[in-house]
Amino acid sequence: MSREPIRIGNASGFYGDRFSAVREMLTGGPLDVLTGDYLAELTMLILGRDRMKDPERGYAKTFLRQMEENLGLAKEKGVKIVANAGGLNPAGLATALRELAAKLGVDVRIAHVEGDDLIGRADELGFRLGAGTPQERSPLTANAYLGAWGIVECLNAGADVVVTGRVTDASVIVGPAAAHFGWTREDYDALAGAVAAGHVIECGTQATGGNYAFFREQPIGVPGFPIAEIHADGSSVITKHPGTGGVVNTGTVTAQLLYEITGARYANPDVTTRFDTLTLAEDGPDRVRISGVTGEAPPPTLKVALNRLGGFRNETTFVLTGLDIEEKAALVREQLETALERKPPAEVRWTLARTDHRDADTEEQASALLHVAVKDADPKIAGRAFSGAAVELALGSYPGFHVTAPPSDASPYGVYSAAFVDAAEVPHVAVPADGRRIDIAPATKTLALTEVDEPALPEPLPDGPVRRVPLGRVIGARSGDKGGSANLGVWVRSEEAWRWLVHRLTVTEFRLLLPETAQLPVKRHLLPNLWAMNFVVEDILGEGVASQARFDPQAKAFGEWLRAREIDVPEALL
């Protein structure tokens, strides 16, 4: 097997990412493998609804169009393609790709990985969600997160393109690396290093300056997509093609390492990666080396993502301008609730955003927004019955009555939850280009997932003069969703700042700064090697992003809210 590093690029961080990225990555410089992550919890629900309309669908159609433009170019460049765009129907996508290749006259070997889709065994495995009738509780999608070894088998059999269903996001990177270097299933440190690299590049330009807390420090422009140069020992260098926008530095890599994780142990089906062991170092312009990563045996269970249709939702936003904002909000709320008394929606949620400014010099700056969202199992109750009642108030409510958008009908919403099953219960099948079906056995050595002991805290920073400033003057942050929970990772850029932060930003202080979390379970995890910590807030997102339970339903700006809160910071750090 090769000992030369393998250059693995990413061209998609979500279903809907920059369409031109595939061509940009294929023409921007040398690559061995180009990957794409098209799946997320919400995406699986979208694909599930696609499959309801047409059983032959259920995969990411964008990927097929990207291959129509770029399959010949990838073949010409000798770049292999590995993507999880198969969604709920990887076999269907593989068939469509073969038809496309024949139409284009491109000679490529196309393989796929399947087995993750457990929807046909929902009853057997006990996948029931919430209350209601069996039909209401049945999931629309049920997909286990598979690992990388099916991808390895397909690549070892000579595949040029491998499409999968719901493998873990990092697996599309781990698979090519493991095949390239001939790693065994117990090369835990090497596998863990590849998981870390995969976790950094899986979300595309979030590793190259996109959504970066300190974006004002360097020009971002249109960020190029990331590349991981992975070495035989699992260490890697994160970089991008020369001349592309954005930036790669220890800050951008740290931000992405903290994205959507929990504690120091990051479980994958093939290895549990210890994020508390890795170190980062600048390796030249737009190059960051990740090294020292250690791994442990994977857990004995696989996570299963479950989605069901939860009912129907609708919303209206009233604009309240000028004086007496609170009284105007109370009046229209009373009027609408009275109008809905005969058939009230099952859930009604009001939010008043005081965006208004005193003595404002524009009407918009003088206005506040009163948002009302409803949910119900009956689309008629959540639909025109609600929006019609809201609009009927137009001439008989508060002065200046208007809404931000015309009335609409109800739209379906989804509910997400996670389950865990024994890995031996989940088939994992590699289907190379010749049509053989190769069963991938589950890991023989496993280790139950536990939290690490909290590390010893450093000496606190000596007392000195302080100044009240936004916390973001000192910390960076990156936040996101995991089902109904949100994670918020923060980091600092000096040992002195770490000595202050680790003692100052406790769970108690976190709850005071972000009052929405005051009554929710909050856990703090420390990563001293990164001068970072990660807060996990349970239940803040309700039943997941598709249920739209909260303003900012994916918690993408949760960290920026924290950075905007003011706190006493030592002058020495400013």
The C-alpha atoms of residue 422 and residue 298 are separated, in whole angstroms, by: 12
Q: Which of 250, 334, 114 is nearest to 530 (CA)?
A: 250
Please count the residues of the chain: 574
pLDDT of residue 229: 98
pLDDT of residue 407: 78
pLDDT of residue 133: 55
The C-alpha atoms of residue 506 and residue 460 are separated, in whole angstroms, by: 13
| Level-2 CATH architecture, domain 310-415 | 2-Layer Sandwich (3.30)
Tokens describing residue 423: 């890995």
Note whether 472 and 501 are within 8 A (CB).
no
Over range 186-202, report the average pLDDT.
98
Tens digits of residue pLDDT in 127-156? 875 555 555 568 999 999 999 999 999 999
pLDDT of residue 172: 98
Tens digits of residue pLDDT in 277-308? 999 999 999 999 999 999 999 999 999 999 98
Exposure string over 154-168, b if 16+ CB within 10 A, otherwise e: bbebebbbbbbbbbb
Q: What burial class does residue 15 get, using C-beta atoms within 10 Å of its C-beta: 0-12 exposed, 13-18 middle, 19+ buried?
A: buried
pLDDT of residue 52: 86
Phi then psi for 61, rounded to 5 degrees? Answer: -65, -30
Task: List the single range of 66-80, 307-321, 442-456, 547-561 with lowest mean pLDDT.
Answer: 547-561
pLDDT of residue 415: 87
Tokens describing residue 173: 């990177």
Helix, strand, coil share of the chain (percent; to 5):
30, 25, 45
**pLDDT of 544 over the 90 cut:** no
The C-alpha atoms of residue 196 and residue 527 are separated, in whole angstroms, by: 14
Over range 51-63, report the average pLDDT.
92
CATH 3.30.70 in the chain, residue ranges: 310-415
Phi then psi for 275, rounded to 5 degrees? Answer: -70, -15
Taking CB atoms within 8 Å and a gap of at least 24, the contacts of 340-345 are: 340/385, 340/386, 340/389, 343/381, 343/385, 345/374, 345/375, 345/376, 345/381, 345/382, 345/386
Tens digits of residue pLDDT in 457-504? 999 999 999 999 999 999 999 999 988 899 999 999 999 999 999 999
Tens digits of residue pLDDT in 265-278? 999 999 999 999 99
- Residue 227 belongs to what H/E stretch? strand 226-230
